[in-house]
Amino acid sequence: MKIDKQLRSVACTYSGSNSPHPSPLPEGEGVCYTLALRERAAEGRVRELDSQLPFSLVPSLSLRASWSRGPRRAVAEIFFLLPLILVLLLAACDSKPNDQHSFAATEVAAPTSVYAYGIVEARRHSTLSAKFPGKIEKILVREGELVKEGQLLAQFEARELTAQVGVAKTAALVAQAALAEAEAGPRPREIAAAEEELHDAEAQLTKADADWQRFQRLRTEGVVATADWEQVRQRLDSNQARRNVADQLLRQMREGTRPETLAMLHRKLDLARAEITRTEAALADARLTAPYAGVITRKHREDGEALDIGLPVLDIATLNERYVRAEIDETDIGRLKVGQAAQVSADGFPGLELAGQIVEIKQQMGPKKLIPTDPSKIVDYKVLDVEVSLPADCPYPIKLPVNVRISLE
């Protein structure tokens, strides 16, 4: 009954009547005075908020003017403004003074370990490749066999190279003999023979000159024919040339070999020796030897296989000192230092965890080389290689992927 009076009072107020006993509203306008009451309540709440805000909402929410223009327009504006009013009410209800204890800072625990992928490496590990294109004649070792430094491991077919080495050595001997002969000079017997040849040539020249003088007088007297005189003259010229040659030869023998000749013979000998070095080097490439003492860890080829230069034949390594090469993410390298303890495990050895420590931290970043089996892991980032020691009795074979956990405590 009280609510009905309030509704009628509101309706009278909006209709402009001041009578304390207003007449009943026409049928169909019950909704109108109900909405008028809701408008009055909402307008009161908005006026309270208006006093707290830096701008005024009341002028824009004057529903009386809307009501005077028609009930339907008023209802439409009420439904349009209700969401805005509700938002303002919620904002006013939620506005509380800042409480310094309402937000507590959450402390993130510092990491105690760094995890990385690694691979077991030998301190010395080499892949011996073919330096000589050809067919493998014989592989003389087996996998797991201990070998000594310089030991012959495999032999390629090289009969032609062996023959070339023999030819080069023979040519070098010939060049060396020629140089020695030139440096020694002529023997005394050769010089004596040259002297006798010169004396004989001089004697024949003297005789030919006397005959020529005699025939020259006879020709003047007209006794000797011209043809006979010309034969004597030719014999004189021949003996003169013979004497000159003998004299020149004797001079050369007494002076010894010329310096230019000796230099040329030296170069010929050097060339022959260089050919020996070349052929022996080619023959050595046909022989695969151990660069150091170690263990044959892998055999890539068999007897009779034809290879080109650079193809692998055998792997050799020293297994007495193995270590792990771990790839550390660039975000973790600042936490590491030499001497930190590490735990190494492998999927192929379940339940076995070996203790080690960081022995070396490299000084250059590089791309990641160890690709994890998990496809969700990121692989295209920079890493830093770290060496982690392993115990002497480590059963892990080299090139085994492992997991490394480095303790930061």
Could you tell me if 346 and 379 are in contact, meaning their C-beta atoms sit under 8 angstroms apart?
no
More confident: 282 or 51: 282
Structure tokens at 267: 């170069």
Other beta carbons within 10 angstroms of residue 172's beta carbon come to 19
pLDDT in tens, 255-287: 777 888 889 999 999 999 999 999 999 888 889
Bridge partners, 385 (sequence order): 327
Residue 35 has pLDDT above 60, yes or no: no
Query: What CATH number was assigned to the domain covering residues 322-407?
Result: 2.40.30.170
Model confidence at 46, pLDDT cuts 50, 70, 90, reads very low
Higher pLDDT, 374 or 193: 193
Q: Please, what is the average pLDDT of the chain?
A: 77
| pLDDT average, residue stretch 361-365 | 91
- Which of 391, 408, 384 lies closest to 118 in space, CA to CA? 384
How many Å apart are CA 355 and CA 392, to the nearest integer? Answer: 11
Round to whole Å and give the CA distance between 380 and 370.
Answer: 11
Task: Please tell me the least confidently modeled range out of 63-77, 153-167, 374-388.
Answer: 63-77
Q: Are strands 146-147 and 152-156 parallel, antiparallel or unpaired?
A: unpaired
Angle at alpha carbon of residue 21, lines to 20 and 25, rounded to 5°:
120
pLDDT in the model for residue 369: 80
Average pLDDT over residues 30-37: 47
CATH architecture of 125-157+282-317: Beta Barrel (2.40)
Output the CA angle 157-160-162, nearest 5 degrees.
Answer: 85
Place of tokens 């327009």: 73
pTM of this structure: 0.50
Query: In whole angstroms, what is the distance from residue 373 CA to residue 361 CA?
Result: 25
Residue 21: which pLDDT band, with cuts at 50, 70 and 90?
very low
60 secondary structure, DSSP code: G
Total Cβ atoms within 10 A of residue 39: 22
d(CA 408, CA 334): 11
> Does residue 62 have a pLDDT over 70?
no
Start-end of H helices in 145-286: 159-184, 188-221, 226-255, 259-285
DSSP state of 245: H
Tell me the C-alpha distance between 337 and 357, whole Å.
10
Q: Cα(216)–Cα(51) distance, rounded to whole angstroms? A: 164
Is pLDDT above 60 for 107?
no
Give me the pLDDT at residue 254, please: 77
Kind and range of the H or E element at 360?
Answer: strand 353-367
| Kind plus residue range of the DSSP H or E element containing 154 | strand 152-156
Q: What is the pLDDT of residue 252?
A: 77
